[in-house]
Structure formats: structure tokens, C-alpha cells
């Protein structure tokens, strides 16, 4: 395949960053097409840890990175991200990083609105990252958002920014009962970021189209996961974008026929950060030990992640929706020593059994999981580089996950480092 999209099967944090970094070795261009800095892709390269928020994970392989039009971008945070990489010897020039003119801006008032709304929701809060993702996408859809293109004319941009900020301050003060922002300071900050980012702006859809036309390999890097998808996830406990493969077309500006395949990424167990249904959630000592073992604390916000067993019902839903040709299962090593292991294979509500996600997402919050039990393993798997290096029970567990999900196993992650992986089938192999 020449063009591959990597999509999260669960609620984000599946380890997409690691898989993208690994696959990027064989790609020419890596494209983000949705979401913003609510994402946080953690990569460990030569023992050094990097967290990328908006810059595609291909940056550490020295590939061309594209911030597509479907993303929402916080210009202040992006400047910080670029500077952070530069400080660590990974400077990105405009030849390395291309930002779409059409991408919408997340501005400081979006974050303030996001946080004020969440605070007012109290116990019903979504548990957002608080970075203004929802309010920025709202402005986009309401056709009042500012885009990178608007930066072209400094005076007109400053004027619109100021007008928006005053309007949002009225909302913050009058309706949300939150502190307003200092408008002059806000405008100055954003204008400074404007000067830094302008050299990177271009028509990224044309760039990607030409790359594909020239036969180059393009990797589309999804953020979050299918269960956080605005349409197909656990609404309203979702993020404000489509997180599946369908978003590649709108969010990167490529035609449907130009995407050769979709690879799903799933952890060997499940996690979720924020509120909302999680049928296979577990609690107690096992959850705590998995959280510690798997370092399951949000990379964007530091929040402890909720922990659960692998949910095959949701995985099947994600595989089908996205036509996933294969699955990369990450963090297998974290399950070492846990015996027995459980896989959620269905749900029950009263006498009703569900083998598929119930149409009512409210019901999903009430169902009881039905588990299948499998024997675990105790040997360290972190050094495995071939399926044959794994204990037989680990292989059985993986095979069962793939079978229940309705797709084939293509990769397995056995540790945090770039090298800690088993590649059964490389999607970029001809």
C-alpha cells in the first residue's frame, strides 16, 4: 500500500504515536487530519521521550509533516511545540512542516469557554482536556472561526481577533460567569505566534495530492479513537471531530479512492480518560496495578486513565466502520503476569444480550459486560521481535482479539521504545 491511515480503535491513547513513528520510517509524508492538541502522542526514541501534540509523529523520522485543514491548531502551543523540538536538536524548517491555510485556530478564549462550561456541568462534565477543542470546532461550523489564511493581512486579522475576543468575553462574563480575558494582551500574543508560523503555511491538500500523484508513500495519522468520534462514539462524551478514516478525505483534502488502507490501533486492554460509558471498566487493585505498569496517566493532562479489559464488541464496531485491513495491538507487555485475562465479548441488560454496540448510547452506560476468560503468561515479552518469540498463551490471546475484531493482526507493541515491536505485516510493503 502507498497510502495508509492509522486510526484508534478505542478512546485514544492506543499507542498510535509509537506505531506512526515506526511506520513513518517507510513513509515520505505524514499527515494529521483532525483534532488538535487534545491529542498527545508519546514516543520513545533511543531512550528519549517525546510528546507530540499537533506535529505529526513522523517528525522524529525526519519525514515531511503536514498539519491538515481538518485540524484545529492552537498557534501559541504550536510555536512552543516547534521550539521544544528545536531545543532537542530536532528543528523543523518550512520544508519539513507544512500547515494548512484552511486549518482553524484555537484561540485563548476557546480554552476559557471550554473550561468554564465544564466547571458549570459539575458531575455531568465531559472531562475535556480543557484546551478549547469543542469551542474552536463550534466556531468553524458556525462560520465565524479564524483560519491561518486570515493571518495574511495583519491589520484585518488583528481587528477580527479583537472583535471575537470581545464577543467571547461577553459570553464568559455574562453567561458562563467566568473571568474575561485581557484583549490587548491576547491579540499581541497571537500576533507574535503569527509571525513565527507564517513561513510554514501552504496549500497542504495540493501538496498531499501531488505527493500521492508522484507515487510517494503517505501516512495519515489519526488522533483520539473511534469511540471518541463525534458521530460514532459515545456522544456526548466524545471529542468534537470525526476521528475515523472518513475524516482523512475532508480533513486532508484527498479523494476517497486515494486511501489504500486503514490500520486500526488498539491496546491489549482498554483505557479511557474523561467521563462516559466504559462497559469493560475494572476497578480495584488490578486496575491500579495496570495503571502503574502501563503508565496510564494522560499525556495531555496528567489525569489517571480509567482501566478496563479489551472490548471486542467496540473493536468490531471500529473495524467495520473504518474498513480496517489490520490491527496493531500495543502494550502487550503490560498484561504479563495477569492470569486469567478477560475479553469482553458481549453485553447484557436484564435478559437482553447484545453482540453489537446498542443503538442507544445511553444504554451502553448501563449494560453489563459478558467476558470470555483466557489463560495469561508470566514470561517477559518485551524482547520479542517475532510472533514465535511470544509465550503460546500470549499468541492465543492476540489471535482471539483479532478473530473477535474481524480483522488480522499486523503489528504488536511489546514496550515503549521504537524497537519494541513485532511487525507481522508492514502495511507499506508492496
Which of 3, 34, 37, 38 forms a contact with ligand IMP (CB under 6 A)? 38
Q: What is the C-alpha to C-alpha distance for residues 53 and 294, in angstroms, rounded to an integer?
A: 20
DSSP code of residue 268: S
SS3 (DSSP) at 311 = strand
CB-based contact 110:78 (threshold 8 Å): no
CB-based contact 166:118 (threshold 8 Å): no
Establish if 131 lies at the interface with ligand IMP (CB under 6 A). yes
Which of 6, 59, 228, 335 forms a contact with ligand IMP (CB under 6 A)? 228
Q: What is the C-alpha to C-alpha distance for residues 74 and 80, in angstroms, rounded to an integer?
A: 10
Min separation Cβ 388 and Mg ion, Å: 31
Pick the stretch among 129-137, 311-319, 390-398, 417-425 that binds ligand IMP (CB under 6 A). 129-137
Min separation Cβ 372 and ligand IMP, Å: 26
Number of residues that bind ligand IMP (CB under 6 A): 20
Establish if 304 lies at the interface with ligand IMP (CB under 6 A). no
Pick the stretch among 7-15, 24-32, 143-151, 208-216 that binds ligand IMP (CB under 6 A). 7-15
Grid look-up 495531555 returns 300
| Residue 189: exposure state from Cβ atoms within 10 A (0-12, 13-18, ≥19) | middle
Establish if 273 lies at the interface with ligand IMP (CB under 6 A). yes
Q: Which residues pair with 344 in a beta bridge?
A: 311, 371
Has 41 been annotated as catalytic? yes
Quick one: what does residue 3 bind among ligand IMP, Mg ion, none, with the CB cut-off 5 to 8 Å set by partner type? none
Establish if 221 lies at the interface with Mg ion (CB under 5 A). no
Which of 5, 22, 27, 40 forms a contact with Mg ion (CB under 5 A)? 40
Q: Which is nearer to ligand IMP, 244 or 346 (CB)?
A: 244
Establish if 128 lies at the interface with ligand IMP (CB under 6 A). yes
Quick one: what does residue 60 bind among Mg ion, ligand IMP, none, with the CB cut-off 5 to 8 Å set by partner type? none
The grid coordinates listed for 5 are 491511515
Min separation Cβ 68 and ligand IMP, Å: 16
- Planar angle of CA 301, 55, 34, nearest 5 degrees: 80
Four-residue CA torsion sign, 398, 399, 404, 407? positive
Q: Which is nearer to ligand IMP, 161 or 228 (CB)?
A: 228
Pick the stretch among 167-175, 237-245, 317-325, 397-405 that binds ligand IMP (CB under 6 A). 237-245
CB-based contact 23:5 (threshold 8 Å): no
Q: What is the C-alpha to C-alpha distance for residues 271 and 292, in angstroms, rounded to an integer?
A: 13
Min separation Cβ 40 and Mg ion, Å: 4
Non-local CB neighbours of 266 within 8 Å, separated by 6+ positions: 8, 9, 10, 14, 310, 315, 318, 327, 328, 329, 330, 401, 405
Establish if 21 lies at the interface with Mg ion (CB under 5 A). no
Quick one: what does residue 100 bind among ligand IMP, Mg ion, none, with the CB cut-off 5 to 8 Å set by partner type? none
Has 110 been annotated as catalytic? no
Q: Which is nearer to ligand IMP, 7 or 273 (CB)?
A: 273
Helices (H), 142-236: 154-170, 183-197, 204-213
Determine the angle formed by the axes of helices 108-121 and 133-141, rounding to 10 degrees.
110
Q: Where do contacts with Mg ion occur on this chain (CB under 5 A)?
A: 13, 40
Q: Which residues bind ligand IMP (CB under 6 A)?
A: 11-13, 38-39, 126-129, 131, 133-134, 223-224, 228, 237, 239-240, 273-274
Residues labelled as active-site residues: 13, 41
Amino acid at each position: 500500500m502507498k497510502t495508509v491511515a492509522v486510526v484508534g480503535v478505542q478512546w485514544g491513547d492506543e499507542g498510535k504515536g509509537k506505531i506512526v513513528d515506526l511506520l513513518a520510517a517507510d513513509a515520505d509524508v505524514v499527515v494529521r487530519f483532525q483534532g488538535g492538541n487534545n491529542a498527545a502522542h508519546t514516543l520513545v526514541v533511543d531512550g528519549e521521550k517525546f510528546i507530540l501534540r499537533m506535529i505529526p509523529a513522523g517528525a522524529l523520522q525526519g519525514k515531511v509533516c503536514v498539519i491538515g485543514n481538518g485540524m484545529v491548531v492552537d498557534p501559541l502551543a504550536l510555536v512552543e511545540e516547534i521550539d521544544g523540538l528545536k531545543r532537542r536538536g530536532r528543528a523543523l524548517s518550512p520544508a519539513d512542516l507544512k500547515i494548512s491555510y484552511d486549518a482553524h485556530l484555537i484561540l485563548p478564549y476557546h480554552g476559557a469557554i471550554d473550561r468554564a462550561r465544564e466547571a458549570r456541568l459539575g458531575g455531568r462534565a465531559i472531562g475535556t482536556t480543557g484546551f478549547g477543542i469543542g469551542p474552536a470546532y463550534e466556531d468553524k461550523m458556525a462560520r465565524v472561526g479564524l483560519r491561518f489564511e486570515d493571518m495574511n493581512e495583519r491589520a484585518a486579522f488583528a481587528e477580527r481577533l479583537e472583535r471575537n475576543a470581545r464577543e467571547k468575553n461577553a459570553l464568559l462574563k455574562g453567561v458562563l460567569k467566568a473571568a474575561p480575558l485581557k484583549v490587548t494582551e491576547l491579540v499581541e500574543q497571537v500576533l507574535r505566534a503569527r509571525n513565527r508560523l507564517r513561513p510554514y503555511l501552504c496549500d497542504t491538500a495540493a501538496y498531499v495530492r501531488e505527493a500521492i500523484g508522484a507515487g510517494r508513500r503517505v501516512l495519515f495519522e489519526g488522533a483520539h479513537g473511534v469511540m471518541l468520534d463525534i458521530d460514532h462514539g459515545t456522544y456526548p462524551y466524545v471529542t468534537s471531530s470525526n476521528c475515523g478514516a472518513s475524516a482523512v478525505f475532508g480533513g486532508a483534502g484527498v479523494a476517497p479512492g486515494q486511501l489504500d488502507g486503514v490500520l486500526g490501533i488498539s491496546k491489549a486492554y482498554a483505557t479511557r480518560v474523561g467521563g462516559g460509558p466504559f462497559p469493560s471498566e475494572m476497578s480495584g487493585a488490578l486496575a491500579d496495578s495496570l495503571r502503574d505498569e502501563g503508565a496510564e496517566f494522560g499525556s495531555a493532562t496528567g489525569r489517571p486513565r480509567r482501566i478496563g479489559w479489551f472490548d471486542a464488541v467496540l473493536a468490531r464496531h471500529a473495524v467495520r466502520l473504518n474498513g480496517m485491513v489490520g490491527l496493531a495491538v500495543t502494550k502487550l507487555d503490560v498484561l504479563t503476569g495477569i492470569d486469567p485475562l478477560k475479553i469482553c465479548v458481549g453485553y447484557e441488560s436484564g435478559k437482553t444480550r447484545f453482540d453489537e454496540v446498542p443503538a442507544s448510547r445511553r444504554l451502553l452506560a448501563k449494560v453489563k459486560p459478558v467476558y470470555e476468560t483466557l489463560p495469561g503468561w508470566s514470561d517477559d515479552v518485551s524482547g520479542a521481535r517475532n510472533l514465535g518469540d511470544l509465550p503460546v498463551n500470549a499468541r492465543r490471546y492476540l489471535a482471539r482479539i483479532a478473530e473477535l475484531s474481524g480483522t488480522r493482526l499486523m503489528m504488536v507493541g511489546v514496550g515503549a521504545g521504537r524497537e519494541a515491536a513485532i511487525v507481522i505485516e508492514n502495511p507499506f510493503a508492496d
